[in-house]
Amino acid sequence: MAIHELSALLWRERELLDLLTFKLEEEQLLLTAGKSRWLPHGTREVEQVLEHLSKAGLARAVEAAAVADQWGLPAESSLGELAAAAPDDAWADVLSSHLAAMQRQTEAIKELRDSNEQFLRAAVRSTQETMADAKPAAGTYDSYGRTGSHGGPGTSATPSHLFDQQF
């Protein structure tokens, strides 16, 4: 029966949302600990979970359309509409519970995403400020053995830079 498959797919999707929440929290811990070296790994893991979620969402949509067809509803009916039209109160409760849990999970994920974005922006700003304040230890030398920052024939009036200040 399609409703059993739909319920199983909803459980799988909820597990993936939990895993995404975990991966975003891991990313946040890396950001707050200043362990930026591991961020690409964390980001890759988040992207993998998102890919699995996308596939799970597609499978859920297909199964929900089958359930909607069995219950005489339009194929594009939402989970809330399926819950409201369920022929059995037990299935209405199951679908409503899935929907409420997924909405809570999605809200928590949005908050984590926004928080992580703020941490990243602050880290970029801090890096830019540090790079702008960095002073080279020594200038470059011209053909007369003077540093380039002293001026004179063949030298530049601007000091050399170790970093590209445009990050």
The per-residue pLDDT for 155 is 47
Q: Please give the pLDDT value at position 138.
A: 52
Residues of the chain with pLDDT under 70: 134-141, 147-167
- Please state, in angstroms and rounded to a whole number, the distance separating the CA atoms of residues 31 and 122: 10
Helices 39-70, 2-33: axis angle to 10 degrees equals 160
Distance CA 69, CA 49 (A): 30
Dihedral sign, Cα of residue 15, residue 17, residue 23, residue 28: negative
Position 125 scores a pLDDT of: 83
Domain residues of the chain, as ranges?
2-129
- Compute the C-alpha angle 43/46/49, nearest 5°: 155
Q: How high is the pLDDT of residue 159?
A: 53
Give the separation between CA 49 and CA 19, rounded to whole angstroms: 7
pLDDT at residue number 1:
76
Q: What is this structure's pTM?
A: 0.74
- Cβ-in-10-Å burial (0-12, 13-18, 19+) of 10 comes to buried
